[in-house]
Structure 1
């Protein structure tokens, strides 16, 4: 019983330490760019000091017009339509706590409808014409956001180490834990 409790506690602590990435499936896919590649971040996440303060509530990724947009993690399409003249696509990620995490992509032409279930890496839309949101360094870009309820989070936190750094994860030995499996 003690071993089972210790193993369970270790697993819970590991999930908490990994943050939303582990609970969202440790995403391996960037929303744009070549599969296995890493697009250029042209504008980083800059959280506002308060709900109505200025800031950047997502990241902007360089992407040409008509580039395919992939779901970073599997989930259900919660919105696919226009907001203020630009296409927006939101995907709710199941089993990510309460309220669940939700990723948002814009400006996009959605290739999926509200209510559709999508897999991680599935093409869900294409980048639309620029709408003036992209910084001068990029002619066109994809704005990628992440929210839990009304709280904006850094969408890069969804990506696993191999997607962020472009190299596979490495397992390291853990000394002194052999008694857990005996």
Structure 2
């Protein structure tokens, strides 16, 4: 196998020429990931008081899955109309803002160690690394909004952190 690799490398050099950096290009140090989603600090046990991200009824409440791939709702889905303003549920720093599988998503890391995620955004008003205040604008919905709350890789019911705000279900 090593003979084959040597032959392939030699053939590549003959066909493509020696691999040299472009003029002015500095060699870069290898990139070592500093953190993966499950490696970030987890919930410190304090019970933060969050606020609902929208003024809309709940279309589908949190339903804990029976296992890692089991059915359930790993958050709250709100019955929002297109263009509904979405607010941060608590103070934090934007960890991600962009598209995932064609859907607008924002993730916010909160000082408690929890992470909130907002999926279903048509317009995104924040960028990664930006500090946001509780109630501050995050974006606008394109259809329904899904709010998730994570402790590392474990999903929590966001409504349990709304400080007594009643959860209103769509019948």
Give the greater-gyration-radius structure (CA): 2
Unpaired segments ≥5 residues, structure 2: 1-43
SS of equivalent to 2:166 = helix
Residues 19-168 of structure 1: matches in 2 within 5 Å? 23-24=47-48, 26-27=49-50, 29-33=51-55, 39-94=56-111, 96=112, 100-108=113-121, 109-128=123-142, 130=143, 141-161=144-164, 163-164=165-166
SS of equivalent to 2:64 = coil
Unpaired segments ≥5 residues, structure 1: 1-18, 34-38, 131-140, 167-182
After the TM superposition, which segments of 4 or more aligned residues of structure 1 sit over 2 Å from their partners? 163-166
TM-score (ref. length: structure 1) = 0.64
Task: Give aligned pairs, total.
Answer: 124
Shift of 1:164: 2.7
Identify, as 1 or 2, the structure richer in helix: 1
RMSD of aligned C-alpha atoms?
1.9
The separation in 1 between residues aligned to 2:130 and 2:63, in whole angstroms, is: 31
TM-score (ref. length: structure 2) = 0.68
